[in-house]
A and B are shown apart, each in its own frame.
Chain A
């Protein structure tokens, strides 16, 4: 399996522009997670989906952020308009449901976003 795939790997954009991050989870995984990581705040869960349905979006910082999962193999995280404080590494992760209820998450390589 190719693992979780994210694109782009690096994104540099100007303040006010729209940014779309993409994620392809591991086939067969039921859960998909979006995280943000910064030096100051560490690893933050933004939103997660179960079977394409958003379960908890309480970590989404504000209305400028939105996430969709139109099918089991694709998800997007959109920031509109972007601001310099959105600069971070954004990780997508997916997990299966294993016997015994284990939810081990597999992380993608991340997208490093820089907003100038």
Chain B
């Protein structure tokens, strides 16, 4: 059974600081997704990582995938308050099954 673990689950950081959220998964997969959820809102796709070594960047967020280590990271650079949200990683089960296994999410709070 594929398991996806995120850490930390809660992250409080100050504006201007850097930090990394980690996503570990238990079985082989080469497709990983990051989503953002604002309070009371739906999940919004941030990044799609489709191969080992894939790196995507959008603004102050950068995501990477190491399929050999079964690890993805979401790096936050010079955090701002607008980045406060819950971030989920999700791993493709593989084959033609089509479903994703989601981590529990990391609740990020950026304080001035």
- Chain A interface (Cβ < 8 Å from any Cβ of B): 30-31, 33, 42-43, 45, 48, 50, 55-56, 91, 93, 95, 97, 100-110
Contact = CB atoms under 8 A, between A and B. Distances in A.
27 contacts: A31-B98, A31-B99, A42-B102, A42-B104, A43-B102, A43-B105, A48-B98, A55-B97, A55-B98, A56-B97, A56-B99, A91-B42, A93-B43, A95-B98, A101-B96, A102-B48, A103-B31, A103-B92, A103-B98, A104-B33, A105-B45, A105-B90, A107-B35, A107-B42, A108-B42, A109-B41, A110-B42
Contacts of B48: 102, 104
A102 B56 CA distance: 16
A103 B42 contact: no
B85 interface: no
Interface residues on B, range: 20 to 34
Contacts of B96: 101
Interface of B: 31, 33, 35, 41-45, 48, 50, 88, 90, 92, 96-100, 102, 104-105
Contacts of B104: 42
Nearest to B96: A101
Given A42-B104, A104-B33, A97 B44 contact: no
Given A43-B88, A43-B105, A107 B44 contact: yes
A105 B102 CA distance: 11
Contacts of A109: 41-42
A110 B48 CA distance: 22
A103 B105 contact: no
B75 to A, nearest CB: 21
Contacts of B41: 109
